[in-house]
Amino acid sequence: MKQIILAMLKAALEKAHAHGKLKSIPTMIGLEAPRDPAHGDIATNLALAMARSEGQPPRAIAEIILEHIVLGHQVLEARAAGPGFINFRMAPAFWQGEIRRAMRDGAAFWRPQIGDGRKVQVEFLSANPTGPLTVGHGRNAVLGDTIARLHEATGYATTREYYFNDGGRQMKLLGESVRARYLEELGREVSFPEDGYQGDYIRDIAHALKESRGDELADQGDLEPFRTAAVDAIFADIRKTCARLGVRFDVYTNELDLIRGGAVDAALAGLRERGLIAEYEGAVWLRGEPLGLPKDAVLVRKTGEPTYRTPDIAYHIDKLKRGFDLIIDVFGADHIAEHNEVIAAVRALGHDTASIRAIIYQFVTLTRGGEKVKMSTRKATYVTLDELIDEVGADVVRFFFLFRKSDSHLDFDLDLAKRQAPENPVFYVQYAHARLASVFREAEKAGYQRPAPDADADLALLSDEELGLAKLAVGLPEVIEAATIELEPHRIPFYLLELAGEFHRYYNKPANRIIGADQSLTMARLYLAALLMDALRNGLQLIGVNAPERM
């Protein structure tokens, strides 16, 4: 549709310019769907954008363009509206052709190939192996995974990466915590380390160590066996939890490798050469003022250990060197300042950071009965992601995590999530797909088969209401394209809810019985039903949610 309207507008501009009616021909023409469908299928603000250069009112420019436009058979009308918009309405024949094209082309229609093989890296989740994944980690995982799915589906060469650190002070404390619980398992009295890791998962790891190693580690001063056992067990759990959500990774990158390989020292040396290092209070600092940052940031603590941001600087340099066309970082709102410091330092070291984009997500609150859910008793001071999946299911978790813009706080209503009712958006969308599947089961009983793409269905029999459903369905590729480019995966569930709602309203009217006495109308409606089912299934697949055929 956009290509058809663009071609018409360009031809009209050239003709008006040749006739001396317009002074110039713009190179950029904006098109978007009107907010109110009554205004047409697509509109342009071209006349408003030209007003200053032309020295004429936008409405007058719109009328000039319309005087020189030639409508093809696929466009029903073009009208000037408001202060100077031009609204276009496509002919029914155009939409009938789009329905057939969607059915004929299948995945090639639903998944616009805009990536052209360009390399994209999505780094997400990246939780250090110190404990089970929490609900907050879950939002990160689902956002990152869905962004990766969108890029894969639209033709990008996509790498999913997990960045972690299994060394440092945190991991030392983890090893000490497991060692203390191990000694308790052996019946020894021991003082638990201050700020040690709590929760039964530490006891489980310690118990497994006792079962496999007996008391041979009791008098060993080395923490490495305890740290290694903890990392192995926790990472195994992290992978299992991710698998439950359909989340996978292609690459695991360890922060320690960057430190041991000299990349962190090289970054520090580069910053020092550029006068961006300050040393005071026993620590090494990144100077904020020369980089336009609000304050200095610690790079190396008094203990000699680098802070998180220091290896991150080296890590982003490493990403850039790997030749990705787009680098996407998914992180929580508490990391905004640190990310800005990292990017500023990478840029100061002479690297182009234009390809790095950050997705910042806000936090999740679980509620039940309008009240914040109490913390887990088994896993210490947080609700684990596994507990949430156990309660509401993976489909609900994924859909709910995506059903708000990432930069909006998410209230996860457990009562709503478990409700099998229209107010639950997951149920509402999945039920639409299941309803359509039931239509085809009934059609088969009545002697009809699911229409083939080239089926001889008379789509001219479809009503305006049915064509409206078709328009919404074939609009999915534009939604996918926008969600991918803007890194806004929430657009997909929003679209699915709208499509499901329009279908349910249509289906609930007795006059819209799909399988009826009129065989030609039945075939046309079955063709439309197949289109709607394909749109719902493809949208759900892209966000990692099942499209059930029975509910």
pLDDT digits (tens, 9 = 90+) for 85-110: 999 999 999 999 999 999 999 999 99
pLDDT of residue 474: 97
Q: Any idea which residue has 């990008």 for tokens? A: 156
DSSP 106: T
Asked if residue 379 has pLDDT above 70, the reply is no
Give the CA count within 13 Å in the CB-facing half-sphere of 67: 12
For residue 376, what pLDDT band results from cuts at 50, 70 and 90? low
Q: Are 327 and 123 in contact (CB under 8 A)?
A: yes
- The letter for the amino acid at 230 is A
Tell me whether residue 52 is exposed, middle or buried, using C-beta atoms within 10 angstroms of its C-beta: 0 to 12, 13 to 18, 19 or more. Answer: exposed
Q: Which two tokens stand for residue 263?
A: 């990349």
pLDDT of residue 377: 42
pLDDT of residue 194: 86
Write down all domains in the chain, each with its CATH number in brackets: 2-90 (3.30.1360.70), 96-114+421-542 (1.10.730.10), 119-163+246-361 (3.40.50.620), 168-241 (no CATH), 365-417 (no CATH)
Q: What is the mean pLDDT of residues 242-269?
A: 96
Tokens of 280: 């005071």
Please write the tens of the pLDDT for every residue from 114-144: 999 999 999 999 999 999 999 999 999 999 9
Residue type, 521: L
CA distance 416 to 397: 12
Res 60: pLDDT: 95
Q: Is residue 264's pLDDT more than 90?
A: yes
Q: How confident is the model at residue 383 (pLDDT cuts 50, 70, 90)?
A: confident
Whole-number Å distance between alpha carbons of 31 and 152? 26
Check residue 35 and give its pLDDT: 83
pLDDT for position 375? 54
Would you place residue 378 in the very low, low, confident or very high pLDDT band (cuts 50, 70, 90)? very low
List of residues 6+ apart from 209 with CB closer than 8 A: 178, 182, 185, 217, 225, 226, 229
For residue 149, give both structure tokens: 């799915």
Residue with the bigger pLDDT between 486 and 370: it is: 486
- For the cut 90, the answer to whether the pLDDT of residue 208 exceeds it is yes
**Is pLDDT of 381 > 70?**
no
Residue 229 above 60 pLDDT? yes
Return the C-alpha torsion angle 302, 305, 309, 313, nearest 10.
Answer: 120
